[in-house]
Chain A
C-alpha cells in the first residue's frame, strides 16, 4: 500500500504549501522585522528555559570530522568548538586559543628557505571538555592525527599540509607545516577529545559519532533520529553564568512548510532556514520575526566552453558558448534584479563574484547588468543572425542551449522559465533538463556528474566558499583543475576556463601569508574570470531564520557559521 502512493509524494510539499498558504491567518500586523539587538527592549536576560527549534533536515551524525550538512553545523556550533573561528565580518577570532597566530605577532614563523612554516597556538588555561577532563595540546595533536588516519573523514584539506605537531607543554601546540599554507586559521575549527576517542579502533562505530564531546555552551544529551536532538547546559562551560538557556531541542520536522506551521502554532519557538518566498507566510504574524543574514552562498549559471559531450576534451570549443560574445550576451539578457525581487522577495543581492562576504571579497568587482538591447547588438555584430523563428544561428549552428539544475527546487525551476522567455528575446533557444540533486550534484566522475564530464551547456546551482577562499578559487577556476578523462576527472573547473594570468594570481594567493597581498591576488583572478564571461552570477543568497518574538539575544547573524553561532547569549522573555 505504501509503495502505491510513493510516486505522489513529490506533490506533497507543493500541495501543502498551497493549502497552508490559503489557510494562513489574515491578521494585518507588523511585517518582517529586522534582527533585534541582543537584550533590547526585553530587559535583562533571564536564566533558564527550553528553546525548541524546528529543523527540516536532520543531522545524519554529529561527528565533527564527518561534517557534510549545514544542519550538522547548526547543532555542532552549540557543542563543539575549536582554536579559532570566523566572525560575522569574515575574519578570525580566538576561541580556545589565546590569540590568532600571525606573522606579525610571532605566532607564525616561516623557515629560512621560505618553504615551510610553523604555527604556534597557546591554549587558554583551565578549559574542560563537557565530561570534566582538561583540554590540552595533546587534543590538538590528536585532532590532526584523527583527521589523517580515519579513512571516513570528509575533507583532509589543510591537515594534509601538516608534517608534525609538537606539544612542549599542556597549553602549547606547535604545528609544523610542510609548505606555506595560507588558510591555516581555518584548521582546528573543531577539536576532537583524545581521551574519549583514542581507545576506539574505528571512530565511525563509536558513540562519539552521535554524542561528541565539546567545550561549547551545551552538550548533546539525546540523539533521537527522526525525532529530536537535545543539547543541555554544559556545566564545564568556561564563561560563568552562561548559557542562559537550560536546554535546546532541535526538533526534526518533515518539511519547511511544517516548520512554519509549527512556528505559527507556537509548538516551536524558532525555525532554521526559512525560504525567501516562504517569508510571505509569516510576514503578517505579529509573533514572528525573520532575521536576514548575508551568506557565502552565491547562485550562479556556469557556461560550458568545451563541446557538450560525455568526457569532453577540455580543448574542444563549444559550438555556441565557445563564442565569448554569446556568453556576454546571455549575461546581459539575464534580469538578475527582477529575479531577486519576484522570486526571492528581494531578500538577496545581485551577484558579482564567487566571494560575496568575508575578508577576501572584492567588493568593487561587478558584472554587467540587464540590457537585452546590448545583448542583441553583440550577437548581431558577432554574426549570429536571427532566423524566421527568431532564433539565431551562425555558420549552420543554431543558438540552442539546455539548462540543468536540481529538480524539485521551486525557485530554480521558476527562474528557468523566466530565462526561457528572456533568452528567446535575444534569439537564443533554451530548453530545460533537470535532475535530482543527488545526480546533478554528485560531484563524482564515476557516477557521471555532467559538470565533471562536461556534458552540459548551462548549469544552475550555488555553492559557498570556506572563509578562506583558496580552495574554491583554486579548484574551480585554475586551469590545472579542469576534469577530463586524462586526469581521471580531477578538479571542479566545470566551465573549462583557461587563463594563464588567472592561474598565476591564484597560485600567488595560495602561497602567501600576507592577507593584503592575497586579497589583491584574488581580486585580480576574479576580475579576469568575469572578463572571460563564463559564469552568470545571479544572486548572493541570505540565511533566513524565523523566531517567535520572545526569543532574545541572537544578535547579528554569522553567515560563515550559522544562526546558532552564539546560543550562549540566547534567552527567553515572557
Chain B
C-alpha cells in the first residue's frame, strides 16, 4: 500500500516530463495546414486559440491533468474524436495481436526452455540456443519485412498486411491468416529472450541441493523436473511476463506500422508524426501507469512464488 502511494508522485512526474518533451519538439499539430491553399496567419492564430495551443505551457499541462483525472481525456486536435473513443477503437485489435503473441510465447517458451536445460549440450539445445540468439539479435522491422517478402510477395501464402481482407466484415479464418505474420514477427524475437531466461534459470535450479534430495527420494524424473525444478525456475520468467503486460495496451509500434495493423501502436505512431498531443498524452499516461503497476505486480508475485523474499 505504501508503495502504491509512492507511485503517485512518480506518475505525476512522468506525465509532466512527457508533456514538456512533447511540447519542446518543434512544429505542432497545426503543421498539417501547411500547403492548404488560402490558410492565413489569422486562420492559424484562430486555430491555435481554439485548441488552447496559445496558452502558456504550465497552464496547458495543469488543465490537461485536471481534465484527465476527471476522466475527460480530451479530443484529438486532428481527428476531432474523443481520445478515449480512439483508444476504444484500437485497443481490441492490439489486445488480439499482443494477447496472441503473449500466449504463443508462453506456450512455446516453457517446454523449449525446459528441454534445452534438461538436455544441455544436446543437438536440440545447440539448435535452439543458436537460433534464439539469432532471433534475439534481429530487429523486428527487418524480420517483419523479410516475412512479408517471403510469405506474402513470393509464396503468396499470406496477406501482405492489414487485419482483414477489404470488404470482408468478420471472418475468423481471415483474421487468423492476417495474424500469422505479425504474431510470428514479434513472437520469434520475444521467444528468444524468454527461452534463454528459462534455460539459464533451469540450469541454475537443476544444480541445487533440493533437486538431488528429490531424486534421492526416488521421485520420477518427470515429477522432479516439472514439479520441483520448473516451479522454481519459472520465478524470473513470471517477473518478465508481468513486465510485458503494458505491451498488451501499448501494442507494438514498429510491427503494427509495418503490417498496417489497426492497433494502439499505429495510433501512437500517427499521433507522434502529427504532434497530436491529446492522443499522445492519453496513451503514454496509461502506459506509464501500467508499467508502474506491472512492476509492483511483479514484485508481489515474486514474493508469493518465492517465500524467501518478503517485503517489510
Contact = CB atoms under 8 A, between A and B. Distances in A.
A544 interface: no
A155 B43 contact: yes
A448 interface: yes
B40 A155 contact: yes
A337 interface: no
Candidate in A16, A227, A251 with the most chain B CB atoms within 10 angstroms: A227
Contact of A157 (B40, B252, B266): B40
Interface stretch (A38-46, A257-265, A375-383): A257-265
A23 to B, nearest CB: 6
A178 to B, nearest CB: 16
Contacts of B42: 156, 490
A2 B252 contact: yes
A443 B166 contact: no
Contact of A249 (B166, B257, B270): B166
Is the interface on chain B under 10, 10 to 19, 20 to 34, or 35 or more residues?
A: 35 or more
Contact of A247 (B26, B37, B154, B167): B167
B166 A265 contact: no
B80 interface: yes
Interface string A421-448: 0000000000000011111011111111
B266 A226 contact: yes
A410 B38 CA distance: 28
A254 B254 contact: no
Interface in A8-59: 8-9, 11-12, 15-16, 19-20, 23, 50, 52, 58
B159 A154 contact: no
Interface in B38-66: 38-44, 46-51
Contacts of A463: 35
Interface residues of A, number: 78
Contact of A464 (B33, B35, B47, B251): B35
A1 interface: yes
Contacts of A438: 26-28, 31, 273-275
Contact of B40 (A254, A268, A437, A475): A475
A443 B34 contact: yes
B247 A2 contact: yes
Contact of B41 (A8, A16, A490): A490
A541 to B, nearest CB: 13
B188 interface: no
A60 B278 CA distance: 14
29 contacts: A2-B250, A2-B254, A23-B154, A60-B78, A66-B80, A67-B36, A151-B46, A154-B33, A154-B39, A154-B43, A155-B37, A157-B38, A209-B80, A209-B81, A224-B89, A225-B81, A226-B270, A227-B260, A228-B166, A254-B258, A265-B153, A438-B27, A441-B34, A442-B27, A442-B34, A444-B30, A444-B31, A444-B48, A447-B31
Given A2-B265, A5-B253, A60-B76, 8 more contacts: A154-B43, A157-B39, A158-B38, A228-B166, A247-B167, A253-B162, A258-B160, A442-B28
The 10 A-B residue pairs whose C-beta atoms are closest, nearest first, are: A226-B262, A438-B27, A466-B37, A157-B38, A151-B50, A155-B38, A441-B34, A2-B253, A443-B34, A227-B262
Interface of A: 1-3, 5-6, 8-9, 11-12, 15-16, 19-20, 23, 50, 52, 58, 60-61, 63, 66-69, 151-152, 154-158, 204-205, 209-210, 224-228, 247, 249, 251-254, 258, 261-262, 264-265, 267-268, 435-439, 441-448, 463-466, 471-472, 475, 483, 488-491
